[in-house]
Amino acid sequence: MERLIPPTPSLKGTLRVPGDKSVTHRGLMLGALAQGESTLYYPLKAGDTLSTAQVMRQLGAEITEQGQHFHIKGVGLRLKEPGDVLDCGNAGTLMRLVAGLLSGQETFAVLTGDASLRRRPMGRVTLPLRQMGARIEGRENGQLAPLAIRGGGLRGIHYELPVASAQVKSALLLAGLFAEEDTEVVEPAPTRDHTERVFRHYGLPIEVEGRLIRTRRAEPFAAKDLTVPGDFSSAAFFIVAALITPDSEVTLEGVGLNPTRTGLLTVLKEMGADLSWEVTEGQDGEPVGWIRARSSQLRGVVVDPQLIPLMVDEVPILAAAAAWAAGETYIPGLEELRVKESDRVAAIAKNLQNLGVPVEAGPDWLRIRGGHVAGGGLVEPFHDHRIAMAFAVCGLPKGVTVQDAEWASISFPSFWEDLERLAGKK
């Protein structure tokens, strides 16, 4: 579906963004492993997390919609052998985390996904999970899905992650719940720590010593309600939209402000953004609060590559901000963006060019010359929700056409409606 966005003179108002995608995936998985019934409050109900709900149902959990929430009847630590292939859709987080879970089960299961997910690297989880004792087959010797997993009999390992990836860390921690001896993961740089926080919430074994995270075999544990904060990654689109649109002020409420997610705020502040935020409560181990963004004249910056793992999904929207900044922005440390739902380095460069913005792309960097966004450009999402939303925002002040706008529903089904409301059209 193509969407024509007319030039937008201003954005005003308050928005509560949908639930956090990472926390929803984890809440569904741990609720399914728990004994008894619980409610997952304010989960994200979007393409990726509906895939997780479906997969956990196939593994024996009863997951039903209860208004906005999910009611979960857990299976306990021994999941059911699925009667059919498990379809992870577009969700990398689902495939990698559930590969960890299935490695701990004495069952046979096959994981597949859409064309994008079947291109994404799975060796980063299958290699260490095999070291733990899981039997995993897949295309290209387990590098690519479909993956066939027969788990059980795991032993803990000490594993230094070759890439900063919360998905790999989490896959190993989930497998570690079923392993003899300790499982230790060492991160090369801090990544989102939702798994560690959600383990603590359920009283599961978890110890953190600097970059080392340790877990061990879990005892059966009781179901417990979990409240999902608003997704910072979804809020990010509206933060930048308010900054680059004249005469704008947008407040986001109930947003997760976990410091392992908010690297974008640091960079936007350095760019001169009129931004404020405050943590107002802690919800089940996650800090939550509000963010306010007002129209700002941004300036280009050199981004610290250490910040990239703390804003890995926000690079497309940072590139949109850079397109409106005075001067040049240089973003290094982008090797992981090449293996997301699309090759995001290439997709960002192509969309900036479509909008008239001078850009150079290297193997793991982007250089963007701001201040040249043209009206009436075309956004090509490359089957990637974040690319669709980031460049719709980039084109907003001058008007833009977005191809395949339905991709937003992978993580943010109400995005277009929310945008129209803040633009005063609804």
Ligand X SMILES: C=C(OP(=O)(O)O)C(=O)O
Ligand Y SMILES: O=C(O)C1=C[C@@H](OP(=O)(O)O)[C@@H](O)[C@H](O)C1
Site of interaction with ligand X (CB under 6 A): 48, 91-93, 313, 340-341, 386, 411
User: Is 224 flagged in the annotation as binding?
Assistant: no
User: Is 114 flagged in the annotation as binding?
Assistant: no
Task: Specify the amino acid at residue 252.
Answer: L
Residue 293's φ and ψ, nearest 5 degrees, are -125, 135
Residue 392 Cβ, how far from ligand X at the closest point, in Å? 15
284 interface partner picked from ligand X, ligand Y, none, CB below 5 to 8 A per type: none
170 interface partner picked from ligand X, ligand Y, none, CB below 5 to 8 A per type: ligand Y
- Crossing angle between the packed helical segments 232-244 and 415-422, to the nearest 10 degrees: 30
- Give the Cα-Cα-Cα angle 243, 259, 217 (nearest 5 degrees): 145
* Cα end-to-end distance, the chain, whole Å: 20
- Tell whether residue 270 is a contact of ligand Y (CB under 6 A): no
- Indicate the Cα dihedral angle 282, 288, 290, 293, nearest 10°: 140
Residue 327 Cβ, how far from ligand Y at the closest point, in Å? 28
Here the tokens at position 379 are 């956004």
User: Is 21 flagged in the annotation as binding?
Assistant: yes
DSSP codes, 211-255: TEEEE-PPPP-B---EEPPB-HHHHHHHHHHHHHSTT-EEEEEEE
91 interface partner picked from ligand X, ligand Y, none, CB below 5 to 8 A per type: ligand X
Residue 380 Cβ, how far from ligand Y at the closest point, in Å? 21
| Beta-bridge partners for 70 | 40, 65
**CB-nearer residue toward ligand Y: 166 or 400:** 166
**Has 225 been annotated as catalytic?**
no
308 interface partner picked from ligand Y, ligand X, none, CB below 5 to 8 A per type: none
165 interface partner picked from ligand Y, ligand X, none, CB below 5 to 8 A per type: ligand Y
Which three-class secondary structure state does DSSP give residue 285? coil
Task: Specify the amino acid at residue 34.
Answer: A
Determine which one of 20, 313, 384, 418 is catalytic.
313
**CB-nearer residue toward ligand X: 193 or 341:** 341
Please classify residue 119 by burial: count the beta carbons closer than 10 Å to its beta carbon, then call 0-12 exposed, 13-18 middle and 19+ buried: middle
Site residues (CB under 6 A) for ligand Y, limited to 128-167: 165-167
Residues contributing to the annotated binding site: 21-22, 26, 92, 120, 165, 167, 313, 340, 344, 386
What residues are designated binding site for phosphoenolpyruvate? Answer: 21, 92, 120, 167, 344, 386
Contact residues for ligand Y, defined by CB under 6 A: 22, 93, 165-167, 170, 192, 312-313, 336
Catalytic residue list: 313
